[in-house]
Amino acid sequence: MAFSRAFAPSPLVRADELTSRMVGIGMNFAARPVPEPNIEDTILFASIEGIEKYDLRVLAVLLTWFGIHAAWVNADRLTKLVAGQSLPRVRAFWSAVARWQNRDRRFARLARLYVEPRLDLIETGTEFQVKRHGEDPRFEGSAIRVAANVLRDRVADVLQPVDLARRHHAYRCRVMVGPSYRADMWAALEEEPTLSAAALARRTYGSFATAWHVRRDFALLSQTLSPGVKLIRTHRSKRIESQG
């Protein structure tokens, strides 16, 4: 059977599972974390929960998280995910976020995904709140209008990069080699070295060609390791450790 690449995640998750996934990528909610959830899936689901269901707490933490961790987000995949959304508020939100992060040119295409009239985050009272408090500087001139007193920005609500890298193996690989499908594939192979190229591509939403090359490189590196060195997994991370 021919390989068919997928970009979209599985259907929307339940609210309690979403909370656990958000904790798994470093957002500090009161829930047990899902071990190493997909980063782009999780932030997309979080944005839908926040912007469509008006969960301002989720939206505030998501924005704080993105402000800290944007450099290690796979911008190509996030752009494809948002482009596939029919919800105009979700597209407008991510367009606004990308505009806020305009110093990172990887998000330029994401910023252009919404071109319709400007939307208010809260459909009633925004005009009054903006006149009283001004606009949230992160959204000034963007597709979304938000009053400055609506979404708090508290660094303590999220893990810092060094802490998330200890917890989330794919994130750590992104720090080492860049936020790419290749980094996620490498992390997946360290967890399950027997994955076929097709299974690896599907698990990480990458292309078959990239998966084939990563699998080849992983096998080559594994052959260079001495007998006294092996890959092991700890309760929070994987690392190469000498057993000699």
Q: Where are the domains of the chain?
A: 15-157, 180-242
pLDDT of residue 42 exceeding 70, the answer is yes
- CATH class as words, domain 180-242: mainly alpha
Q: Measuring CA to CA, which residue among 210, 193, 192 is closest to residue 201?
A: 210
Residue 65, CB half-sphere, CA atoms under 13 Å: how many? Answer: 27
Mean pLDDT, rounded, for 74-86? 95
Element (H, E) at 77: helix 75-83
Mean pLDDT, rounded, for 94-105? 97
pLDDT of residue 13 exceeding 80, the answer is no
% of residues, the chain, pLDDT over 70: 87
Instruction: Count the Cβ atoms, other than its own, within 10 Å of residue 109.
Output: 16
Q: Which residue has the tokens 């700890």?
A: 234
Would you state the pLDDT for residue 116?
Answer: 83
Q: Measuring CA to CA, which residue among 65, 50, 73, 25 is closest to residue 157?
A: 65
Query: pLDDT-based confidence at 236, cuts 50/70/90?
Result: very low
| Ramachandran quadrant class, 225 (left: phi over 0; alpha: psi -120 to 50; beta: rest) | beta
pLDDT of residue 230 exceeding 60, the answer is no
CA distance 20 to 16: 7
pLDDT digits (tens, 9 = 90+) for 131-160: 999 999 999 999 999 999 999 999 999 999
pTM score, whole prediction: 0.88
Q: Are 161 and 176 in contact (CB under 8 A)?
A: no
